[in-house]
Structure 1
Amino acid sequence: MLDALDTTLERLLKRELPPNVPSEDTEVFISFDTPYQGAIKKKPAINFFLYDVQENLELRSSRWLVERHSDGTVTKKRPPARVDCSYLITAWPQNEDDIQTEHQLLGEVMKVLLRYREIPETFVADNFEGQEIPLRLISLRPSNLQSFGEFWQAMGGKEGTRPKVVLHCTVTISVSVDAAEPEAGLVGVYQPNVQ
């Protein structure tokens, strides 16, 4: 499921980023690695680091879903949980010191994310089953991290890592929490035979 979300975000960026960023003859790669120097193999790259997954309690529903079948039976199941998947987005130019290209890449990603409040169905991965389309996308809001300094310090254990500018986005997905209840017959309403 999370891999399908990664594919969805990759599709969105690949189709929406301008072809001349950073230049006409340079392919921009999309990565989902931990963001430290040496982890991102192909550059220039946009890296989406999934750092937080939480249930969205505001969208929680306690109403059961009841599906009626033509044979008179019904299936009852809980509604899917809504889960917020939060990413830190960083740009990785060919040359680590090329801040201009890093900012150019981030600026174009920012435009794409702000263009969409929801991810349209055309970008959703084929294997992303059970989703309520379109997927909600929230961009450029405060992250769930207590401190970016602590985050980069933790990444600093990796050789050559320095703090980078980050964008933040959260996508809300649906997660089926259980299988359907066994089918049951409907209780009919008594209708006397009046002549």
Structure 2
Amino acid sequence: MIHEVDEALRTLIRDEALRGTDIEVAFEAPTKDWAARRNAPTVNLYLYDIREDLRRKSRGMVNEYNTDGTVAARHLPPRYVKLSYLLTAWTQRPEDEHRLLSLLLLGFIKYEAMPKHVMGGSIAELGMPVPMTVALPPPEDRAFADVWTALGGELKPSLDLVVSTPVTGVRFPAAGPAKAGVSLHADGDEPVHHSPVVGTEEEEEPRVAMRRERRVP
């Protein structure tokens, strides 16, 4: 699921935000060692936080139907997981990095959700929206300075990109329809099978009486 979001973001950057450029897209942690090895203009998408999006959590069951309208299975509703990316640009000059960040910001901010044409795999099969935000203030329990400190690098201009991706719920196959002609019975009794009535009313009356005698008072 996470790798599918990675590929969708890579496609969105290359085909739309930075279309016509040869900028590399990387997902490695932007540490000092990584920056020293870099030898080409690069956009880095570092996944630094994964947590459930509790605002989108729902309860109940979702029905899956057969072509004849009967229930084939029931699902727990999809859960949403927030994937937070630290989006940075790496070039030889700060001015070029700012230009790339501007293009990235304009490329992402026009979407409230990931475009369907860039999604693939299990997420696309769900057919549900994949909300996306960019450059929003981080939660109170998370600061970008702390992320850079953990990476061992110096603070750098960046965009906070958050994708809330749905994760399919557990599937419970539905039981088949009840068989016609079987009625409930008391403990210890055999089920009573109803057959179509054949013959006259006089012939049917003894059968009904026999069934009544077998039932527990």
TM-score category of the 2 structures, normalised to the smaller one: 0.7 to 0.9
1:73/1:113 CA distance change after superposition, 3 Å: closer
Q: TM-score, normalised by structure 2?
A: 0.72
Contact 1:131 1:173 in 2 (8 A): no
Deviation at 1:36, TM superposition (A): 1.7
Partner deviation per Cα, 1:46-72 (whole Å, 9 max, x = no partner): 111111111111211112011232474
Q: What corresponds to 2:62 in structure 1? A: 65
Q: What corresponds to 1:150 in structure 2? A: 146
Gaps of 5+ in 1: 21-25, 190-195
Q: What corresponds to 2:53 in structure 1? A: 56
Contact 1:74 1:186 in 2 (8 A): no
Q: What corresponds to 2:43 in structure 1? A: 46
Distance (Å, rounded) in 1 between the aligned partners of 2:175 and 2:161: 43
Contact 2:47 2:85 in 1 (8 A): yes
Distance (Å, rounded) in 2 between the aligned partners of 1:70 and 1:126: 24
Contact 1:130 1:174 in 2 (8 A): no
Distance (Å, rounded) in 2 between the aligned partners of 1:92 and 1:43: 8
Contact 1:120 1:133 in 2 (8 A): no
State yes or no: 1:3 paired with 2:3: yes
Residue number among 104, 114, 123 corresponding to 1:119 in the alignment: 114
Q: TM-score, normalised by structure 1?
A: 0.79
Partner deviation per Cα, 1:167-186 (whole Å, 9 max, x = no partner): 011111111242x2133124
Distance (Å, rounded) in 2 between the aligned partners of 1:183 and 1:19: 48
Number of matched pairs: 178
Deviation at 1:128, TM superposition (A): 4.0
Deviation at 1:133, TM superposition (A): 3.9
Give the SS at the match of 1:12.
Answer: helix
Judging by fraction of residues, say which structure has more strand.
1
Gaps of 5+ in 2: 181-217
Greater CA drift, 118-127 or 75-84: 118-127
Q: What corresponds to 1:101 in structure 2? A: 96
Q: What corresponds to 2:174 in structure 1? A: 183
Q: What corresponds to 1:23 in structure 2? A: none
Deviation at 1:107, TM superposition (A): 0.8
1:188/1:100 CA distance change after superposition, 3 Å: farther
